[in-house]
Chains A and B, each alone.
Chain A
Amino acid sequence: MTAEQKGIIDNLRKAIFEYNVDLAQESAKEAVEKGIDPIEALNAMTVAIKEIGDAFGKGELWLPDLVGASDAMQGATPVLEDEMKRRGVHRESLGVVVAGTVFGDIHSIGKTMVTTLLTAAGYRVEDLGVNVKAEVFIEAIKKHGADMLAMSALMTTTMTEQEKVIDALKKEGIRERVKVMIGGAAVTDEFAEEIGADGYDPTAPGAVELARKLLEKQ
């Protein structure tokens, strides 16, 4: 790798640590222009995100840091993924997770914390955002060949929507293909069991641990 290419990789890492979306996007474009392997560029950012995630887990960093780093990562990812498609290459990951906040619920913070830390841990995360309908989850699971579905619902009024998604997975005959992890302030272990989810954890770092355990069993 040339000194110039190394400088670009350093800037990608710097963008994560400084929560700088603009720098992340510019550096990703530069990386593509200068012929840097997009997988290598993504890996460099993933390592940086992992450091942020670890510091968050230890209580050294806070939510605005996690969200800032995640935004920077998301700024660069589409550019690098386009380049991967163009080159026809794929990135090794621990598994593919489709994630989103369920229909009727627009609370994104908890879900974003989990997706950021899952990305940091080496999973490929397809974040569908908030207010996601059951059919959209199903389409994404099929399209990306997901290993896991991670759903979030903050309110007692929307947490039952998670059950509807699980029922829809059954109807489609793909329930056995994916592990289902749920989260949200009102959710409990009992509720997770009742609606037929595979697991629940109250914290974002705990959710990553749970994902690891569930996917290891497969």
Chain B
Amino acid sequence: MSDGLPVPAPGGATAPSSLAWQRVHPVTPLVKGWLVLVVVVLGLLRSTAEQGDGDGARFALHHLAWVLLGIAAIVVVAGTYSWLAWRVTAYAIDPDAVHMRSGILFKQHRKARLDRIQAIEVRQPLAARIFGLAEVKVEVAGGDGSGVSIGYLTERTAQELRADLLARAAGLGAPSSGGKQAVAAPADGTDAKHAPDAVTSAAGPGPAPTLHATEAPEQPLFEVPSGRLVASTFLTVEAWVLVLVVAGAVVAAAAARTPAVLFSFVPVLIGLGSALFGRFNRSFAFRAATSPDGIRLRHGLTETRAQTIPPGRVQAVELVQPFLWRRFGWWRVHVNVAGYGREANAKGPTTVLLPVGSRAEATTALWLVLPDLGTADPLALLGEALDGSGPSDAFTAAPRRSRWLDPVGWRRNGYAVTARAVLARSGRVRRRLVVVPHERTQSLGLEQGPLQRRLGLASFVLHSTPGSVHPEVPHLDARDARVLLDEQSVRAREARSQDLSERWLQPPGARA
């Protein structure tokens, strides 16, 4: 059906014809577009009902037939379009990459290299859960929206696809262990290029020619009890603002002696409430585990997600303790993963490694990312990094004169360097620690404003991939900052040259 349109092969040099294309599940358009459909239908019905107000129900009834006909027409058109779109939406896996093609008029063929996979997520929005479907999102390091979303698939296919992708990305080639149906599996990954060219496009969502890798065994590490999650949600600034707004609305309504005033507060309440609920919804039933494939995270109330972040993919870690959490000793842990970007919208990936947890759990989360902190006594160092202030053996702190620029938190500002990572400590009210492994440093910078210059201070910045973590050490002594910049560029270079995290399970000798 694509014959009529001169579509340039977007893959360029790749030969997509030799790939075994698999279709996604036929229910996909319904799951993706149900909300639009509902809105259109409701909108039409409502406008009919409003028209009926004046001339009575007879008028509305007369028009109802036309409205129903209109809805039917929309359903037919949308259905045909969706069916056509579904026909051209397909995915395929070859030894080096995962391919996804879609689009009727504007065709897209996206190829994500397996050795560049940064994370894999199995996402199940509420509508998809009803049908037992799931979407597999493969994040590669290309900035926001560069990943490949394969969906929707049946839950089982999605799990198998994830395991298969991870096994291939890990450098295991075509896994032979699962092998209950070696459909298109060559004996080893090296000549999978000569896999059967059978384009199983007519097979529908049936058994995919994936290799059915057995899922790597995992070891649970921590989970977040819902009670603590609720408590921590209420112990945030947003929650207090919400309470204040509600109180203000009630007082205003009482003063004006009319409940109508309450309605003017509705937008604010909805905004704040949805932000809070969104955070709660995502972090609900948060569980973390470790496996040879990397970090496994499962969470979500209405929409469940299962994230897998392979080893060495985390670019930076941040441990934060908001002021209200201090007496409970809770911490939140965020990570930067290339391709994740900022946590911009509800559909975007979650950058949280631990929504709320004890200090021990936060330390475990850090250990997940960086098993070896590169120091003899990691616990002592972390203790100093989380609660400590001022200079010490490990930490170089900001000088006393920086109190002019940061009167509250200047004692906490400082850094420590271990054999594996930089630890940047800051914040007295809201305590913060950022850890960046040496081999994940992108570029480095120094910044100095006019006041800093007078005081002989400079801020040191580590540029990490886009995300919620921004590693920097503010207001250091200018000479310290300079020394750190020079030494860190050497350390980063050395660490990079020994970094072997791509194809992480492949023996080093087998690397190209």
Q: Do A and B truly interact? A: no
